[in-house]
């Protein structure tokens, strides 16, 4: 099985780190590869960043379809940018890390809190909880108030602030689990759980395991209804290369 991790931002070191964490958790025989858009934001911390990155996610799925050997995709940003558009472009399962983390958190606890990077991205997570139907399971969304890239540039300071917020969630929110609200936190998960003493779920590996499950069961993205392949049409300007797409793509 081949699972492609798509990092919607353009920071290559973060792409590599998420691929490594996913490969370590992958089932025997699963190959994990990773890619990122050629153009876009170095980190995703706003609706604007997400809008730009969604195009890059779609382009990466199209590249994967041309390769022809990818069984599932993971969109590795907690805002799940471009998720439904990506699903339109392939029969393979496409899993967003926020949706995956919410699902798994409800399987190990009746209530969870989300600990994310910035307060403004916490608001985006609130929208996703409503959209996915998990709002009643989430007690609170908390922000460590650190920029995404600080997780790489100042890892010890970032780790300390994330753990402190997770401990406050444990002590104040009446929860059984914590969801980490950033793909860049993936390599900190076990250490955070050890410090906090609760199950801690991060979305990259959660999405990987769901992707493996769907692919192994032979379940694919439905092509009936709104996730059918998009109709071929003309695109202009910088998107002219997307004109008259003949999907599914045959490598």
- 233-248 pLDDT tens trace: 999 999 999 999 999 9
Give tens-digit pLDDT for 3-39: 999 999 999 999 999 999 999 999 999 999 999 999 9
- Matching residue, tokens 């496409």: 94
Q: Which two tokens stand for residue 147?
A: 């920029």
What's the distance, CA 179 to chain centroid? Answer: 12
Residue 85 DSSP symbol: H
**Token pair in block for residue 80:** 């799940």
Token output for 177:
């689990």
pTM, 2 dp: 0.96
Mean pLDDT of 131-143: 98
pLDDT band at 249 (very low <50, low <70, confident <90, very high): confident
Neighbours of 41 (CB within 10 A): 20
Q: What band does 250 get if pLDDT is binned at 50, 70 and 90?
A: low
pLDDT of residue 251: 63
| Secondary structure of 121-162 as H, E, C letters | HHHHHHHHHHHHCCHHHEEEEEECCCCCCHHHHCHHHHHHHH
Compute the average pLDDT of residues 171-185. 97
Placement of tokens 């003309």 in the chain:
234
Q: Which sequence spans correspond to the domains of the chain?
A: 2-96+206-242, 98-203
pLDDT for the residue numbered 166: 98
Q: Do domains 2-96+206-242 and 98-203 have the same CATH topology?
A: yes
pLDDT at 193: 96
For the domain spanning 98-203, the CATH number is 3.40.50.12500
The yes or no reply on domain 2-96+206-242 and CATH 3.40.605.10 is no
Mean pLDDT of 93-106: 98
């Amino acid at each position: 099985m081949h699972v492609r991790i798509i990092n919607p931002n353009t920071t290559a070191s973060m792409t590599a780190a998420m691929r490594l964490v996913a490969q370590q958790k992958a089932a025997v025989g699963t190959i994990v590869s990773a890619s990122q858009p050629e153009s876009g934001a170095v980190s995703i911390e706003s609706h604007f960043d997400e809008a730009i990155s969604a195009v890059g996610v779609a382009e990466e799925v199209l590249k994967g379809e041309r390769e022809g050997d990818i069984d599932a995709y993971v969109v590795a940003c907690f805002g799940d940018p471009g998720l439904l558009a990506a699903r339109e472009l392939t029969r393979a399962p496409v899993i967003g890390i926020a949706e995956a983390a919410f699902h798994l958190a409800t399987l190990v606890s009746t209530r969870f809190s989300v600990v994310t990077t910035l307060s403004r991205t916490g608001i985006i997570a609130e929208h996703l909880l409503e959209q996915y139907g998990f709002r009643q399971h989430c007690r609170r969304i908390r922000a460590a108030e650190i920029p995404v890239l600080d997780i790489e540039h100042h890892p010890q300071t970032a780790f300390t602030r994330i753990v402190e917020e997770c401990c406050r969630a444990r002590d104040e929110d009446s929860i059984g689990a914590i969801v980490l609200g950033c793909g860049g936190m993936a390599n900190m998960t076990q250490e955070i759980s050890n410090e906090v003493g609760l199950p801690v779920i991060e979305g990259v590996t959660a999405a990987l395991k769901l992707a493996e499950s769907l692919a192994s069961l032979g379940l694919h993205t439905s092509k009936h209804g709104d996730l059918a392949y998009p109709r071929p049409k003309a695109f202009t300007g910088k998107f002219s290369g997307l004109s008259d797409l003949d999907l599914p793509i045959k490598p």
